[in-house]
Structure 1
Amino acid sequence: MVTVVVVDDSAFMRKAIATMLEKDPGIKVVATARNGEEGLELIRRHQPDVVTLDIEMPKMDGLTALRHIMMEMPRPVLMVSSLTTEGAEATLKAMELGAVDFIPKQLSRVSLDIIKIEEDLRNKIRSVAGRRIRPMGAARPAAPAAHAPGTAPAGGPGAAPAPRAAVTRAKSGQRRDVVAIGVSTGGPPAVQKVLAALPADFPAGILIAQHMPAAFTGPFAKRLDGVSKLTVKEAENGEPFRPGTVYISPGGKHLRIAQKISRIDIVVADEPREALYKPSANELMASVGEGVGRRALGAILTGMGNDGMEGMKVLKARGGRALAQSDATCVVYGMPKAVVDAGLADEIVDIDDMAGALVDGLYI
């Protein structure tokens, strides 16, 4: 049984979230709270598996409460966020502090999508329950060293993690120049960690499909631009693809590339409208694989489901290289697991080592 404490100053939202969650017999809302102070008391008392936490509340707001939770009793926290610029900025800050994902306040509205929204909420609760949560900047956990599929980690049980070995660089001098990253739940701090660690002279361009609403991707790109030595921006349809630039797919759109005779252009499009995720990591990976073949480097980071796996098949078939984030460092080991289980991952990498793996992976 997964236990949940719901913290929100809106009685309607507390009831809506509890009702949606308890339609799953494996989830029980053990308490609800009206503000951060009350929430902390109930979390200490009930020790729930997961917490849902509003941001704007009287007495103690959600960010303050989150800091207390992460210092005193770390556990998976889902923020309840408004889909506005201000809501996006506060939610991204919350995920830096250790929150794993967010629930849109709009889930309370009656719509034809309510069943899908309810299912997504319950899936998030089930997926993050029991995961070991670390606030951003905390020491890395003891975990097996990254290793290639089919090989055992170095050392025996309980061995200290070894640093990731650099990939042997080919003498041909050729290198990959297009990097595609697919990511979902737990993604913002993971992506921030990777981009902040990349050198200013990183010679490739990077395309990122992060499952995120449209209101969030602009603030997300702006936040990343402030911590990265590279230029980070929200992608625009038709703009030229440039090395040293990171393109974030706008929420609700798909991100692709179009290979021209002497250049690559960015494509931002609505189709396929029926895709489960917009942006879709599958669409991005397949487009990069089809467009540049062995010049492509794909990475799948933390997230629920298997988005990116089918696209990675195309990228690999065209000669590209595939990386997957390690189970030990994922908030949700879903998307990377699908790539690993399909035998597509050339390397399994801890998030702290992903920037180095991207640099090394450029060499063919």
Structure 2
Amino acid sequence: MTIKVLVVDDSSFFRRRLTEILAADPELEVIDTANNGQQAVEKAIALKPDVITMDIEMPVMDGITAVREIMRQQRTPILMFSSLTHEGAKATLDALDAGAVDFLPKKFEDIARDKDDAVALLRQRVKAVARRRPIARSGAVTRPALTRSAFERPKLSERLQESSAPVRSGAAGSFKASGKKYKLLMIGTSTGGPIALQRIITALPANFPLPIVLIQHMPAAFTGAFATRLNGLSKITVKEAQDNDLLKAGVAYLAPGGKQMLIEGSDNQAKLRIKEDDSPRITFKPSVDITFGSAARVFKDQVLAVVLTGMGADGREGARLLKQYGSRIWAQDEASCVVYGMPQAIAAAGLMDVEVSLADTASKLIAEVTHG
């Protein structure tokens, strides 16, 4: 069966261009278009598409209001298109908060350097978000149909085969802290990550005993606005990481978009290094693998790393290195992920110590690091 797409944008040129790109994929079918948010709401209810692509600035009803109304009346996965500006970032974060699943830059050259790569990524992203029902913002999680990400299950090393089975999410109160001592909490995520991170970070207490490093796949124009938003909602301090920042307990450092964030120094006086990365071999900037790997060399077995919702497998190799040093790896469960790619890569590689649902991740983190 094809994935039914509703394209919403007030630009006839963009609607036509996007329709042509999506319709050229045999797995996708553009069933209709809309030129404002009010039409989008009406057609979402009438046509029940599998996914909606949505502009933000439109006449009659803007995209954020339309997202909120669609989530109220006809819950549908929505992919936002945004300008890479500070105002565009704020509006996109508002749209995600309203219920949109993910976003992409509206200019295709901002999606990828090569046009063919941009087109392929766009189609891939539409397919990925279409397979997931949006996560309820009230706290209850809508359980989606099970899906598989397109990557091969790697062979497990003898060491991992002999390791104990991971702790799976269970009923409230079933979690038991490991008793392990940590000096750093790291969280890596991609598609669906902004809302997942917001839910976790805002639930942490002001006296949280560890520094926190956050790696979210996000454009450079967005990370500053996202850090500011998290800081305003949280009891802990959240900031966009800067070069030479010293890691301090109770502070969360968000990796800047378009760059790589590494950890250097010693486990008692670690600092962040923010570096430009023009390498065409590195897909993600920031990359979870790169930051996780650098932390393994500094903190060895004293890291608690969490991999949340996201496409692909970024974080798997960094987690493998952390695991080799004796650190612990948690992964989000499939039911609460927007896209079960990155956590599935962790689970399939045999690297997962604990599987957690988004709803109880914060409480379990607090229990784990405080041995409560």
TM-score (structure 2 length as normaliser): 0.89
Residue pairs, 1:273-352, within 5 angstroms: 273=279, 274-352=281-359
Question: Hey, what does 1:162 align to over in structure 2?
Answer: 171
How big is the shift at 1:141?
4.3
Question: Hey, what does 2:258 align to over in structure 1?
Answer: 252
Q: Say if 2:232 is the partner of 1:223.
A: no
More deviation, 27-36/262-271: 262-271
Question: Hey, what does 2:156 align to over in structure 1?
Answer: none
For the Cα contact (< 8 Å) 1:177–1:362, is it kept in 2? no
2:216 aligned residue (204, 207, 210): 210
How big is the shift at 1:43?
1.7
Q: Say if 2:57 is the partner of 1:56.
A: yes
1:270 maps to amino acid: E
Question: Hey, what does 2:269 align to over in structure 1?
Answer: 263
For the Cα contact (< 8 Å) 1:85–1:219, is it kept in 2? yes
How big is the shift at 1:140?
3.4
Give the superposed CA RMSD: 2.2
Question: Hey, what does 2:154 align to over in structure 1?
Answer: none
How big is the shift at 1:363?
6.2
1:165 maps to amino acid: S
**Pair 1:351–1:116, CA change in 2 (3 A):** same
Partners of 1:304 and 1:163 lie apart in 2 by 28
How big is the shift at 1:253?
0.7
Question: Hey, what does 2:86 align to over in structure 1?
Answer: 85
Q: SS where residue 297 of structure 1 aligns?
A: strand
Q: SS where residue 191 of structure 2 aligns?
A: coil
Q: Say if 2:167 is the partner of 1:191.
A: no
Q: SS where residue 198 of structure 1 aligns?
A: coil
**Pair 1:110–1:2, CA change in 2 (3 A):** closer
The Cα offsets for residues 50-109 of structure 1, whole Å up to 9 and x where unpaired, read as 000111000111111111100000010011111111111111011111101112111178
Residue pairs, 1:39-118, within 5 angstroms: 39-107=40-108, 112-118=113-119
More deviation, 317-326/16-25: 16-25
Structure 2: stretches of 5+ with no match in the other structure: 145-162
The Cα offsets for residues 294-326 of structure 1, whole Å up to 9 and x where unpaired, read as 111100000000000011000110110100001
Q: SS where residue 238 of structure 2 aligns?
A: strand
1:299 maps to amino acid: V
For the Cα contact (< 8 Å) 1:149–1:340, is it kept in 2? no
For the Cα contact (< 8 Å) 1:149–1:343, is it kept in 2? no
Q: SS where residue 343 of structure 1 aligns?
A: coil
How big is the shift at 1:262?
4.6
How big is the shift at 1:164?
4.9
How big is the shift at 1:41?
2.1
Q: Say if 2:131 is the partner of 1:122.
A: no
How big is the shift at 1:179?
1.1
Partners of 2:86 and 2:331 lie apart in 1 by 31
For the Cα contact (< 8 Å) 1:77–1:99, is it kept in 2? yes
The Cα offsets for residues 226-268 of structure 1, whole Å up to 9 and x where unpaired, read as 1111100000011211111100000001111102385101111
2:240 aligned residue (234, 241, 250): 234
Number of residue pairs the alignment of both structures matches: 351
How big is the shift at 1:138?
4.3
For the Cα contact (< 8 Å) 2:136–2:142, is it kept in 1? no
How big is the shift at 1:223?
0.3
Q: SS where residue 362 of structure 1 aligns?
A: helix
TM-score (structure 1 length as normaliser): 0.91
Partners of 1:349 and 1:332 lie apart in 2 by 15
Q: SS where residue 360 of structure 2 aligns?
A: helix
**Pair 1:345–1:109, CA change in 2 (3 A):** closer
Question: Hey, what does 1:4 align to over in structure 2?
Answer: 5
Partners of 2:207 and 2:42 lie apart in 1 by 49
2:241 maps to amino acid: A
For the Cα contact (< 8 Å) 1:149–1:348, is it kept in 2? no
How big is the shift at 1:187?
0.6
Question: Hey, what does 1:157 align to over in structure 2?
Answer: none
Q: Say if 2:32 is the partner of 1:31.
A: yes
Q: SS where residue 30 of structure 1 aligns?
A: strand
Q: SS where residue 242 of structure 2 aligns?
A: coil
Q: SS where residue 313 of structure 1 aligns?
A: helix
Question: Hey, what does 2:155 align to over in structure 1?
Answer: none
Q: SS where residue 93 of structure 2 aligns?
A: helix
